[in-house]
Structure 1
């Protein structure tokens, strides 16, 4: 879904509210889901999410009606870092509480 929203024509992009919040939330959710699914691979997951954010933003330069911007990539990166980090922190706290 993230690829579709990032590379599709602007008119086909799903909208739910403010675009900056959408970008942040999409990558926060992506990071959360991947860290939850692969808890022992935090560094790899974080790298994958950040690489996806930068790569998809850069790929927008190959489409005729989209243009990647650094601020957009930064919003996606911030969301990815927040999602991955918060989920990892919750995993660590949960593990310590079980002891």
Structure 2
């Protein structure tokens, strides 16, 4: 088994400790505040995950193009990221 390059080890270590910190913090604060924070992280992820955002928007457009306008589909894709953040927060807290 070969060792990973230093850059990858640092990246994975950073992610690991960030998740550990999130789990620790999730048990300290009230659930409502935690879910609000995770929803905020989901909205931030919406800004950075461009490929995923475009894919979600495309698929929502295919599913709802006759019923919803483009503006409504974009709002629904933002809400999807927010709810994914909240769901992940619930999993971390459990």
For this structure pair, what is the TM-score category when the shorter chain's length is used for normalisation? 0.3 to 0.5
Question: Could you say which structure has the greater relative contact order, defined with CA pairs below 8 angstroms and 6 or more residues apart?
Answer: 2
Larger radius of gyration: 2
Structure-1-length-normalised TM-score: 0.35
Provide the TM-score with structure 2 as the length reference. 0.36
